[in-house]
Amino acid sequence: MPESKIVMIGVGGTIASIKTSDGLKPGLSVERIVGSIPELRDFDIETVQLMNLDSADMQPEDWMTIAKSCVHYLNDQKVSGIIVLHGTDTMAYSATALSFLIRDQNKPIVFTGAQIPFSSFGTDARNNIVDSIRVIAETDLAETMIVFDSKVLRGCRSIKLREYEFNAFESIDPTPIAEIARRVEIIDDHARKRRNTLAWYDGPLDPNVALIHAFPGLKPELLERLPDFGYRGAVIAAYGAGNLSMRERSLLPVIKKLIRQGFPVVITTQCVFGRSELFLYESGNELIRIGAITGYDMMSEAALIKLMWALGKSDKLSEIRDLMGQNLAGEITYSSSS
């Protein structure tokens, strides 16, 4: 029997759902889930029911609650790691948020869930939970990760690409941290390892950030009105290497106006695999001139949450630009002169 304790935090999702007349709805407790898996009886597991939400209901305020709870347990010497049972729809968002909200992380935080409810025949929940425990028990990793379908993914580089298949999540650009078979095979030799540090909560997040997916026909007035609705910053998922139209319905004049008002605008790419390299094309160079912030190779979702984090620290554009350019948790793996 392991000498250390694993903390399993339940926040809801499909894994905890039961069938109702209105469809699937979170209803199982994490304690009941753990008690129903015989293989877990040899482990010292503390269960915490933090919330029980459909992950579509998860909000930035909930990410902060989860992060604060995780920091508490990370600094408990008896705890070897944390597992968060979470819905799949926004799991990558939550894992990304914790990657920014927790500094000096000293132990693993593993997010996992299921495509089929734990209470249903054929569920993938058991395998994902057992794999998550193996990552904690058999490795010295100390990152915020998603463990799903025998893969270990960096939280801030993960995306849900498939709605129904068990292999719902993929790692974008970098390879997975590890793959799980007879052994947990580490692929990323640069993954962060356990260390003797005191983890601390680095919040808050400012939720007033918009993510705009560029498309032909997008009206510049949409961006212009963002401050009227209380938004304090925006991420624009642009085409290709960070390109936007310079002719009809050009967004550049509005972006320039917003930036002059102290409103940060981050440019990412809407390509699943790619990076924002603003120096390549004319529109990108114009975005540089007017003060837009490059998103490097951050996924748009990661840039969104990181800008929430940066705005929780400062309202000065120069400081926000510096914060966005820091590689906090492996969200930036490539930087260019853009």
Task: Specify whether 14 is catalytic.
Answer: yes
**Rounded CA separation 276/175 (Å):** 19
Report CA torsion sign: 55, 58, 11, 108: positive
SS (H, E, C) 112-139: ECCCCCCCCCCCCHHHHHHHHHHHHHHC
Distance CA 135, CA 109 (A): 10
> Residues 14, 96, 112, 294: which is the catalytic one?
14
The residue among 46, 272, 269 whose CA lies nearest residue 169 is: 272
DSSP secondary structure, 149-212, as one string: TTEEEEGGGEEE--SSSS--EEE-SSPPSEEESSSEEE--TTS-B--S---EE-------EEEE
Ramachandran region of residue 203, left (φ > 0), alpha (ψ -120 to 50) or beta?
beta
**Catalytic amino acids?**
14
